[in-house]
Structure 1
Amino acid sequence: MGNTLIALAVAVVGVAGTLIASVLSPRMLARIQAEQFERQQRAADAQWIREQRVAEVEKRRACYVTANSGYRRHRIELMKYLWLVHKAEVTASARADLEETRHSMHTAFAEAQMVASDAVLRELDAMTVTLAGAYSRTLLLADGDPQPGWSFEEIQTELLRLGDRWKDMRGIMRADLGVDPGPADA
Structure 2
Amino acid sequence: MWHRERQITDLEQRRQCYVTANSGYRRYRVELMNYLWLVHKGEVTPQGRADLEDARHAMHAAFAEAQMIASDPVLAELDAMTHTLSRAYSRTMRLEEGNPRPGQSFEEIHAVLAGVGDQWQAMRGAMRADLGVGPASDGPPAVGP
TM above 0.5: yes
Q: Decide which moves more: 162-171 or 91-100.
A: 162-171
Q: Compute the displacement of 1:168 (Å).
A: 1.2
CA distance in 2: counterparts of 1:174 and 1:87, whole angstroms: 38
Query: How far apart, in 2, do the equivalents of 1:112 and 1:180 lie?
Result: 19
Shift of the alpha carbon at 1:99? Answer: 0.5
Identity of aligned residues (%): 66
Q: Is the 8 A contact 1:70 1:104 kept in 2?
A: yes
Indicate the RMSD between aligned Cα atoms, in angstroms.
1.1
C-alpha separation in 2, matches of 1:166 and 1:181: 15
- Conservation of the 8 A alpha-carbon contact between 1:172 and 1:181: no
Runs of 4+ in 1 over 3 A off after TM superposition: none
Deviations, residues 126-155 of structure 1 (Å, cap 9, x unaligned): 111110000000011011111111100100
Give 2:118's aligned residue.
Answer: 164
Give the distance between the partners of 1:86 and 1:180, measured in 2 at CA.
39
Task: Report the 3-state secondary structure (helix = DSSP H, G, I; strand = E; otherwise coil) of the residue aligned with 1:127.
Answer: helix
CA displacement 1:12-68 (0-9 Å, x = unmatched): xxxxxxxxxxxxxxxxxxxxxxxxxxxxxxxxxxx1111100000000000000000
Q: Look at both structures and tell me which one has the larger radius of gyration over its CA atoms.
A: 1
For structure 2, the 5+ residue unaligned runs are 137-145
Q: Structure 1 residue aligned with 2:50, among 76, 96, 121?
A: 96
Determine if the alignment matches structure 1 residue 53 to structure 2 residue 7: yes
Structure 1-normalised TM-score?
0.71
When you count helix as a share of all residues, which structure comes out higher?
A: 1
8 Å contact kept, 1:134–1:158: yes
TM-score by length of 2: 0.91
Q: Distance in 2 between matches of 1:144 and 1:93?
A: 20
Q: Are residues 1:70 and 2:39 paired?
A: no
Out of 80, 87, 93, which is 2:41 matched to? 87
Distance in 2 (CA, whole Å) between partners of 1:181 and 1:109 is 24
RCO higher in 1 or 2 (8 Å CA, sep ≥ 6)?
A: 2
CA contact (8 A) 1:174 1:180 kept: yes
1:13 match: none
2:74 to 96, 104, 120: 120
The answer to whether residue 131 in structure 2 is matched with residue 177 in structure 1 is: yes
Query: 1:154 aligns to what?
Result: 108
Letter in 2 for 1:136: S
In the TM superposition, what is the alpha-carbon distance from 1:180 to its structure 2 partner?
2.8
Q: How many residues align?
A: 136
Q: How far apart are the structure 1 equivalents of 2:80 and 2:118?
A: 13
